[in-house]
Amino acid sequence: MSKSAFITGVTGQDGSYLAELLLSKGYTVHGLLRRSSSFNTERIDHIYQGPEEAQRSFILHYGDLSDGVALVNLLRDVRPDEIYNLGAQSHVRVSFSTPLYTSDVTGLSTVRLLEAVRASGIDTRLYQASSSEMFGTSPPPQNEKTPFHPRSPYGCAKAFGYWTTVNYREAYGLFAVNGILFNHESPRRGETFVTRKISRAVARIKAGLQDCLYLGNLNAVRDWGYAPEYVEAMWRMLQCNEPDDYVVATGEAATVKQFLELAFSHVDLDWTEFVRYDPSYERPSEVNALIGDASKAQEKLSWKPSVRVQELARIMVDADVALLAAGLSGQNVRVSA
Ligand code: NAP
Ligand code: F7E
């Protein structure tokens, strides 16, 4: 019997890579799809299987993390062996504009899903997408023992989700784990996160479609890894004999400025000629430096990243240049995030 998995956030960056990984391992994958007035399945269209297909291994279900009853019903029907809770309002800057919504969808939804597991009475394992944002002001390097001091509604919501997951493990013996993932990027990264905003702008500036790029704080330090490698770590956490929590990171740091240098120089451009400052991209409180120590994941999960920031910047710029050449990149929209 092949295993089955249920992924919330299947249409997102990580959800799409995780679905591919699990399908390649022979899983039947069920994904939670939220209703949108426009198409939101771009990242998974290439693996979509319609209801007319006889033997489907990838099945989408309409639902929403804010609807706890729908979650109970879905889990009762699907009875997955593994659950990956990746759905979230995941943008830190936006969380300052929508603090209650973010607390609900990113924070409270974790308890909704855990209660749905209990209410449906299924025997399953659950992965919670926790975040390095929970560390906030705690100085780097950060590991599983580093105290949390979140700096945004998003970070606070993730800290709630983290502790709820630990509590359900301790109180009810659920196999529930936290992956504390540091920033991870890819050509599928949302266009308003800083790395993708940069790689997309580089491609458009090189093609003569855009004059400049507006950014906020260029001095923030981040530990940027490659998303397809990080979803492998999620899966490994659920294959262990005992549930536990793990930091997933490269251990290497770069500033936003250094990422700009890597991305622009890859197509022989000087970033200082194109980047302008816009204070609206600053956050009311910023996380200055995140650099992860993933030695526990390396030791217990035999997980080790291979893509570092220079290669990552090249992968992302090359992908955006190719998208543009294929006529697939959107208009020159300027969104406040
Ligand atoms: P992402 O690309 O922003 O994807 C978020 C997913 O959540 C999308 O599928 C989105 O659906 C879905 N979603 C949002 N609101 C929902 C709701 N109310 N009900 C159901 N689904 C909802 O995020 P990601 O980068 O893949 O990250 C995956 C998870 O890891 C998130 O929980 C994120 O907070 C966390 N995380 C990410 C990083 C990182 O660096 N990427 C690091 C640490 C933790 P739509 O497509 O319809 O919007
Ligand atoms: O910002 C600075 C910004 O939005 C990175 C999410 O996946 O990782 C992500 O959160 C840095 C920050 O990612 C712009 O101030 C400058 O210091 O790409 P970001 P993030 O906030 O680190 C964590 C681990 C998650 O869990 C989150 O879900 O870049 N920055 N100028 C900018 N950032 C953005 N977005 N836009 C700018 O114009």
Which domains are present in the chain?
4-186+226-248 (3.40.50.720), 194-221+253-289+308-328 (3.90.25.10)
Supply the mean pLDDT for the chain: 96
The ligand placed nearest to the CA atom of residue 218 is 2
How large is the average pLDDT for residues 11-27? 98
Name the nearest CA neighbour of 300 among 229, 248, 227, 223: 248
Identity of the residue numbered 181: L
13 Cα distance to chain centroid: 6
| Closest ligand, as measured to the CA of 219 | 2
pLDDT band at 83 (very low <50, low <70, confident <90, very high): very high
Ligand 2: residue whose CA is nearest its atom 27: 90
For the CA of 282, the closest atom of ligand 2 is 15
Ligand 1 pocket mutation pick from 14, 197, 245 by most atoms within 8 angstroms of CB = 14
Instruction: Kindly name the residue from 16, 82, 103, 133 that is annotated as catalytic.
Output: 133
Per-residue pLDDT, 1:
76
- Give the pLDDT confidence score for residue 336 in this predicted structure: 53
Q: What is the pLDDT of residues 263-303, one digit of tens each?
A: 999 999 999 999 999 999 999 999 999 999 999 999 999 99
Is residue 337 predicted with pLDDT exceeding 80?
Answer: no
Flag whether the pTM goes above 0.85: yes
Pocket of ligand 1 (CB under 6 A): 8-9, 11-15, 32, 34, 36, 40, 64-66, 86-90, 105, 129, 131, 181, 183-184, 190
Mean pLDDT confidence for 220-226? 98
Pocket probe for ligand 2: among 13, 85, 193, 290, the residue whose CB has the most ligand atoms within 8 Å is 193
